[in-house]
A = this chain, B = another copy of it.
C-alpha cells in the first residue's frame, strides 16, 4: 500500500523538484501539489509540468494533503509551517528535507503545536539549484535520515520512511542532535572549508584569478563544486547548526595547525602517516557505494 495519496511539496528548488519528480515516477497514482513563495519558480514549475497542480498560496496547497514536505532553507521552516497551519488537515503529517534537524524540529513544533511533525533529511544533492536542476533519481542509493521527536507516532514515522524508500533511498532513524553532529562533519564542515578556500584563492595579489581557474585541475576544482551550492540554503545551515559546526571547525583548525607545524619542521613521517590513513577512508566510501569508483570521479578524459 502507498504510504500517502496526496503529497504537497512546499519549495520547488533542487530537492523539492527532485522529490516531486521521484514521487511521480515511483508512485504515479499519488497526487502531487506544489507551491513556492517565488512566483517565477511557480511559473517554471507549471511550464515544465512538475506537479499535478501548482497553487498560488501555501494554504491552498495543503487543504487536502496527507503529507506536506517543506523543502525551503532551514531558517525559513518556521515561517513556512506557520503559513500552512490554518489550512492543514488534522491528520496530515508534516515533514521537511532540511540539513539540520534539532533547530528545524523546534521551529516546526512551535509553529504546529499538537500536529504530526516527522522531520527527515535526504543526504543527496548537487551543486545546482532551482526547479529545473532536479531529477527523479537524485535519491537512488543515498541515505535519508528520519529524525522523529521522542513522542512521535511510530506509524507516522514508518509512513515517512516508506515514502523515501519508494523513491530509492535507504532510511535510517536518528536522534536530531546526533544527526546534527554527524552532518556537521560529513557535510557542513566540508562546505565551509570549500567556500573558504575558493574565497582565499580568489583574493590573492601575486596569483591572478585567471591562473587559479586555468590550473584548477591540480585539485582546486574539486572544492569549487560544493562551493557553488545554493548560498541561501548554506547560510541558513551554518547559522541553524552553529554549535556543532563551530565544534567541528575547532577540531579541524587544530589538526591543520599540527600539519602546518609538521611541514615547518620537516616532519615527513607525520605527513606520510596521515596521508596513508586518509587513503583507506576513500576506499571504504567506494566499497559502500557512496561514491564513484572511477578515477577522477569518472570525469571524461
Shortest Cβ distance from A139 into B: residue? B301
Give the chain B neighbours of A277 by CB distance below 8 A.
Answer: 199, 202
CB distance from A108 to the nearest CB of B (A): 21
Determine if A206 and B181 form an interchain contact, defined as CB atoms under 8 angstroms apart.
yes
Q: Is A138 an interface residue (CB 8 A)?
A: yes
27 chain-A/chain-B pairs, Cβ below 8 angstroms? A126-B296, A127-B296, A145-B215, A181-B206, A183-B218, A186-B211, A186-B215, A186-B219, A188-B218, A190-B223, A192-B256, A193-B193, A193-B223, A200-B248, A202-B281, A213-B281, A214-B288, A216-B290, A221-B290, A224-B291, A227-B275, A227-B281, A228-B283, A234-B271, A238-B271, A245-B263, A298-B298
Determine if A200 and B255 form an interchain contact, defined as CB atoms under 8 angstroms apart.
yes
Q: Which of A237-292 contact B (CB under 8 A)?
A: 238-239, 242, 245-246, 248-249, 251-253, 255-256, 259-260, 263-264, 266, 268, 271-272, 274-279, 281-285, 288, 290-292
Give the chain B neighbours of A271 by CB distance below 8 A.
Answer: 231, 234-235, 238-239
